[in-house]
Structure 1
């Protein structure tokens, strides 16, 4: 494995909670090529022409509501590609190898495959084994048009991880979206000067302070927790609620959860469906069983049907508690009475390692642009600030980091921005 120097990059400009790429004065940003201006509208048209077919594939692993949202996020990211390339001037990459995640099949395909193909000679993607048939179906719909448009190699194959590591060993850049503990093993296989982008996850806490509008806070918490039945790395895993509003907020949340429809993920009004990952059901069931005294609403899991009941738990302040990634519709609130406690929690070694976003409502003592390694989203949730054409995540090394030349830097990630840095170095 390459020797590594771990660094946390200084704060970049933050607009409303979204981290943006730092400016590069002295490096002129050239015009986007006429080829890109021709290709992108054609690919956007491909998505639009195949909308229902794509949604049919996406709802194999996502609720209809989440799939529609993902479709439009994909359209936006693809439409924004000329702006992204103009801003970052990524130069030309020879080969990109991408480990695709097991969710957001279309969106990740666009972010880590289609957009990079505009400045890469060869793109090779490996779908997650959990969802390989659905991921390959997305590729079958879009892939031929991308190959024809970009004129380069654009491939996806459900090969073994060992076989795909051989492709990584000859790549200029590797995007890894698997478990953070496996990132080092993959990075050790790539050339010393290649780019390695490791995308992880974090707890993305919500803070509901004494000055919060509780209607807004309740809607925001549910939006940040129940997206695709909770199966997204942007979903929040813990909600810190000030003692003065804790009783009212938990009452509102319990009432709202009691009205959540659990059903077929293909139906438009289904908010929670059977989970795609059996281990997520098992993990939720184990957590619920071990914390029954804190259950306010729900609290049951059906392992046979892969269903976790929309559940609310309310815990007293526990400074040493660090929530798991639920990947299920479990809303966990924890009461606090001093915002300095939350700052200390965010700066703990555990949360410094996995800091992504912290979403703040009505707590003026917690201000951005970041606390510890977590980017502050003021009055907005992660799904509001996430933008496929801008760097993603926070500054926790387990949440996201880039490796090149033996150095490891934790910061929000965007491949074109990192490729632009590499071209200018």
Structure 2
């Protein structure tokens, strides 16, 4: 399977850059190969139950990687995988399947069937499936759950703000590069991107100017160009949401703030906000770096334990904050020490945190928020 990706890497890269920057598409190819290479270990470790049918709602980004995680690897223990591509990117998703599907059929997995369909039509497939993978808004996941039989396994993958903490012992220059890596992946269009950067007041005077300078050098252009870091956004509503947020917070703008609605371009932007307990950032899905200044690490733990953040706790990335050292999780957020979410994510291990709106597994009408991996949940289903 890895060989099939390697043989078709140029064709796949060309398809992926319809919706992703060239840099992100290259990363996605490597992540997909790594996940396939780790699949034998994953299945040996989790001993998943044999599934008759899996129904997968493919997300509108990370098309190849999601196809591998929620289609190809599950096909090794599933008779039939049915995939519904997101209507927003259906032609690109279908192109990935057309490239890889014929080559994967002869490699011992189950059938992988992908076809555009209405949500109503696909819900009928879900109702006849042993397991369902849903990627999208949690409220829509609840609607899917209502159509499933009681014994069906439902995994819902949402998103979280993934705050990045810059503590008093962080290296300002190094952490500047880290923040951009965490925020600008695929122009910010990824659920693992950081939506708020919490900076200790003792270093904010060094970090904010460095971030402003670094953002001024970010190249904006065609997503197919390998030098482009920020490209036109794929989703018009993401442009509209960013424009609305930036207009409402214009007084906090340090750098950027421009939005070209016609070209779907959001300028790389830096905001600097004072601490607000009640501030819960939206999922920007755009190149907006939102800094909020804190005085005491207790503010961070209280914020993460608020009802809003407990519900959507995913990851919290901690750099140079000794008060948070050693913690495995804070409330429902899994702690990444001195690394960002993209470094921590591993396609062969459970993904995410414990916030029910960030990701949950549902059995017999009960939903539980926890890190998710389909093979592990199918193993639990079998009593392994």
Partner of 2:321: 363
- Tell me the CA shift for residue 247 of structure 1: 1.3
Matches within 5 A, 1:220-231: 220-231=178-189
- Picking from 342, 347, 351, the partner of 2:305 is 347
Choose between structure 1 and 2 for higher RCO, CA contacts under 8 A separated by at least 6 residues.
Answer: 1
1:117 and 2:75 matched: yes
Partner of 1:216: 174
Q: Distance in 1 between matches of 2:275 and 2:313?
A: 20
Check conservation: 1:172, 1:191, Cα contact below 8 A: no
What's the secondary structure of 1:394's corresponding residue?
coil
Q: Distance in 2 between matches of 1:121 and 1:191?
A: 19
Q: Distance in 1 between matches of 2:220 and 2:371?
A: 34
- Tell me the CA shift for residue 91 of structure 1: 2.2
Q: Distance in 2 between matches of 1:310 and 1:101?
A: 25
- Tell me the CA shift for residue 243 of structure 1: 0.3
| Cα shift readout 1:271-296 (whole Å, capped 9, x = no counterpart) | 00000001000100111111111000
- Tell me the CA shift for residue 184 of structure 1: 1.1
Q: Distance in 2 between matches of 1:152 and 1:222?
A: 40
Partner of 2:101: 143
Partner of 1:52: 10
Partner of 1:398: 357
What's the secondary structure of 1:166's corresponding residue?
helix
Partner of 1:307: 265
Q: Distance in 1 between matches of 2:272 and 2:251?
A: 9
Partner of 1:247: 205
Check conservation: 1:203, 1:325, Cα contact below 8 A: yes
Between the two proteins, the alignment pairs up a number of residues equal to 383
1:374 and 2:333 matched: yes
Partner of 2:35: 77
Q: Distance in 2 between matches of 1:288 and 1:129?
A: 28
Partner of 1:232: 190
- Tell me the CA shift for residue 405 of structure 1: 1.5
Name the stretch that deviates more: 206-215 or 230-239.
Answer: 206-215
- Tell me the CA shift for residue 122 of structure 1: 0.6
- Tell me the CA shift for residue 148 of structure 1: 2.3
What's the secondary structure of 2:45's corresponding residue?
helix
What's the secondary structure of 2:143's corresponding residue?
helix
Matches within 5 A, 1:12-411: 43-150=1-108, 152-367=110-325, 368-411=327-370
| Cα shift readout 1:43-73 (whole Å, capped 9, x = no counterpart) | 1110000000000000000000000000000
User: Which 5+ residue runs of structure 2 have no aligned equivalent?
Assistant: none
1:412 and 2:351 matched: no
Q: Distance in 2 between matches of 1:153 and 1:385?
A: 31
- Tell me the CA shift for residue 153 of structure 1: 2.2
- Tell me the CA shift for residue 99 of structure 1: 0.2
- Tell me the CA shift for residue 151 of structure 1: 5.5
| Cα shift readout 1:92-123 (whole Å, capped 9, x = no counterpart) | 11100000000000000000000000000010
| Cα shift readout 1:145-169 (whole Å, capped 9, x = no counterpart) | 2222235321001100100000000
Give the TM-score, by structure 1 length: 0.89
Q: Distance in 2 between matches of 1:153 and 1:383?
A: 30
Check conservation: 2:76, 2:110, Cα contact below 8 A: no
- Tell me the CA shift for residue 357 of structure 1: 0.2
